[in-house]
Amino acid sequence: MTEKSRRRRDPQERRADILAAALSLFAERGFAATRIEDVAAKAGIAKGTVYLHFPDKEALFTSLASTMASPILEQMEMLAANDAISSRAMVAGLYELVQTEILGTVRGQMLRLLLAEGQFFPVVTEFYHRNVMTVGLRILRTVLERAAKRGELHSAKIAAFPQMAFAPVLLSIVWQTLFEPYEHLDTRGLFEAFLDTLFRTPQGDAS
């Protein structure tokens, strides 16, 4: 498609094309090595057109992060709001979201990029912490505090550290990035083991 024909497209469609091109290049080359002109070429548009939608490369990344994280965070909110199920079942549901919607997907690639290069781009890291991690940890804290009140946790102290519930997610991403070619990690088994670490055995279950 030529640049002239792309100008007739809806701005939101053109924005989506730019984000798709950026994601592909970030995943292939990394954040630091990807240039705005590379994104423009990948999207089949002029470099100036990218700048009409995004002021810089950091804005591209943060827009991608927000777009990808929002549906996951919304599902987490829905799970946490369900008072009818146990806290263990809530966290198990969150782990299932991670298994199906993050690990092995483009969302996982974004997290790997953040781990690999985030220290060099503090604007990007601060955005991700404020808009994704803080929200996710707040949801986990709500679930764990409820679990502590119900006596479902092995220790009530766990509720003060929602990062503990996030730990197997981070471990899975790091392992898949570095060590999976050499040793497979059963992430479902890992998540189940962490559930046993966090929560008491439900009444009626075999001890």
Mean pLDDT of 201-206: 60
pLDDT greater at residue 109 or residue 135: 135
- Express each pLDDT in 136-159 by its tens digit: 999 999 999 999 999 999 999 999
In a domain, 207, yes or no: no
Nearest to 37 by CA among 25, 46, 29, 27: 46
Do 85 and 145 belong to one domain? Answer: yes
**What band does 203 get if pLDDT is binned at 50, 70 and 90?**
low
Q: Please compute the mean of the pLDDT values over residues 171-191 and round it to a whole number.
A: 95
> Which tens digits make up the pLDDT trace of 158-170?
999 999 999 999 9
Domain span including residue 5: 1-54
pLDDT on residue 1: 46
Q: pTM of the prediction?
A: 0.84
Q: What is the Cα–Cα distance from 67 to 143, expressed in whole angstroms?
A: 24
Into how many domains does the chain fold? 2
* CATH number, domain with residue 70: 1.10.357
